[in-house]
Amino acid sequence: QIQLVESGGGVVQAGGSLSLSCTAVGFAYSTHCMAWFRQAPGQGREGVASVEVGGTIRYADSVKGRFTISRDNAKRTLVLQMNDLNSEDTAVYYCASGPLKECIGWQNQNYFGSWGKGTQVTVSS
């Protein structure tokens, strides 16, 4: 059974940093595209960053230069380092796994078949 479990969320002041982790079990983690999404209150789910098996990384324009995604295949973990946070980053953050090695159309949530339950990130001003 595929399980993705996020951790590391919390409350942080504007300008601060947080690191989110996702631990994966139940599938061949090293052969799948992985991504982080987020969903703010009243809004749709937004792709934040993705990383392919081959190492290609993509970011949403809104987080470029502030967020860093990384994966450790040996530890089966996905990390999102978030710096210089602002109120617009407040959301529930989700870890997701895609069906292929590549993250084709990664910003479309329908590409991803497995999801974690999410972790709340709140940025206070």
pLDDT computed for residue 1 by the predictor = 84
Task: Give me 112's structure tokens.
Answer: 């991803």
**The predicted structure's pLDDT at residue 8:** 97
- Give residue-wise pLDDT tens across range 53-86: 999 999 999 999 999 999 999 999 999 999 999 9
Q: What is the pLDDT, as a whole number, of residue 91? A: 98
Among 100, 105, 66, CA closest to 86? 66
pLDDT at residue 28, rounded to an integer: 85
**CB hemisphere CA count around 46 (13 angstroms):** 17
- pLDDT for position 2: 87
pLDDT of residue 100: 93
pLDDT at position 32: 93
List per-block mean pLDDT (blocks of 10 residues) for the chain, which spans 125 residues: 94 98 90 96 96 96 98 96 98 96 92 96 96
HSE at residue 119, side-chain half, CA atoms within 13 A, is: 19
Mean pLDDT (the chain, rounded): 95
Are 21 and 7 in contact by the 8 Å Cβ rule? The answer is: yes
Residue 26 identity: G
| pLDDT score, position 80 | 98
What does the H/E/C string look like for the chain?
CCEEEEECCEEEECCCCEEEEEEEECCCHHHCCEEEEEECCCCCEEEEEEECCCCCEEECCCCCCCEEEEEECCCCEEEEEECCCCHHHCEEEEEEECCCCCCCCCCCHHHCCEECCCEEEEEEC
